[in-house]
Structure 1
Amino acid sequence: MNMFRLIPLTAAALAACHAAPAPQKPPLAGARIGGPFALTDQDGRPFTDRNLAGRYRIMYFGYTNCPDVCPIDMQNVGAAMRLLDTSDPGLSARIVPVFVTIDPARDTPAVLKQFVSAFYPRMIGLTGSAGTIAQTAKDYAVYFQKGAASAGGGYLLSHSRQAYLMDPAGKPLALLPSDESPQAVATEIRRWAQ
C-alpha cells in the first residue's frame, strides 16, 4: 500500500474520533409542561400566554405568604436576572420572569405588585380565579394543597418547587436551580436560551 495514501485515511479516522459532540437537547424538550392561560397581572390587567410570545420566560408558582421557599427562590431568580442585565443585556431583555400565585384568595394584584417588585423590576406577578389558577398549575405540572387554617385564620400551602425556563414559543427547556445561587441560575439560563 502506498504510504501517501495511508496518511489521508489515518487523518480522516482521527478526525472522526474527535468530532465535535452534537448539541445537547434541553432536558425538558418534548415534555408536556405549559400551555395557554388567561390570568390577571399585578396591575389588574388581563394577561395571557400570548403576552409572552417571542420571549423566553421563567415560570414559577408560589405564594406571597410563603415563609421561606418562595422568597428565596425569587431572590435568586431576580439576582440572576440582574447578573444577566450586566453580562448579557441582550439576552436578559428577551427573558421575562413570571410569578404565578397559587393563593389567589390573598394574593391580589396589589399584593403581587409589592411582592414581585421587591425581587426584580421586570418580574410579572399573575393571579386569577381559584379554578383558573388550579388549571394553570396542572398544565405546568405544579402540585399545591392548602393546609389547615390556624386559630387566627391563617394557613400555609404545600407546593412543588420548580422554576421552568420556557422557550419563546412557550415550550419547556429546563428546570432552573432556583434553590442554588444566582450564578447557578444565570449559568443554566445561558446554557439553554440562545
Structure 2
Amino acid sequence: MPYHFFPMISRMRYINRWGLMRNTRLENIQEHSHQVAVLAHALAVIENRYFGGQTDPGAAAVAALYHDASEILTGDMPTPIKYDNPDIQSAYKDVEAVAERKLLSMLPPDLRGDFEEAVTIPDPHIRALVKAADKLSAYLKCVEELKAGNTEFKKAKEQTYAALCQNPVPALRYFMDHFLEGFELTLDELN
C-alpha cells in the first residue's frame, strides 16, 4: 500500500505566507520552516549553554521543520485573522489538529508514533522555543521587506518586535541582543 505523507510534506513549497500583504519576494512555508528550524536549534543551544537548559536542539529543529505542516491542508491563515477573536483562534486550533491527524494517517501505522511529536509538538517547552523562533522568523521577514523598500511591513515589524520583547524565553533575548542587528546589514557590511 502506498503512503502519501512525504509527498504531502513536499507540497509545503506551494503554500505562500503573508497572503494579505504585498511582498517583494514571496515566502512559502517550506522555506519558512527551514528558517524556523535553524532559529529553534539556535535558541535551544543558547538556552543550554547560557541558561542551564536541557533541551535537545535536534528535537527543537525537527519540531520546527514540521510546525506548519498542517497548513498544507488548511492553507496559511493570516495572523490578524487567526488571533483576532478567541472563537476563531480556538476553531482554527481544532482545524489544525484535524489536519495534523490527517497527515499522520498518511504514514504506515508503525511509523506514526515516530512522527507524532514532530508534527503535534506536545512538549510545552519545545513548543515555546518553536513559537519564539516562528515569531523571530516573522520579524526577519519584515526586516527583509523593509530593506527592499516595502513599507507595507512597517507596522508588522513594530508589532512583531513588541511581541518578541514580551516573550519570556531568555535565549530569545540573548539572540536578539547578539544577532538581530546583523539582519539589518547588507552583504558587504556583514563581511
User: How high is the TM-score relative to the length of structure 1?
Assistant: 0.30
Using the size of structure 2 for normalisation, the TM-score is 0.30
Greater C-alpha Rg: 1
**Higher share in helix:** 2
* Structure with the bigger percentage of strand: 1
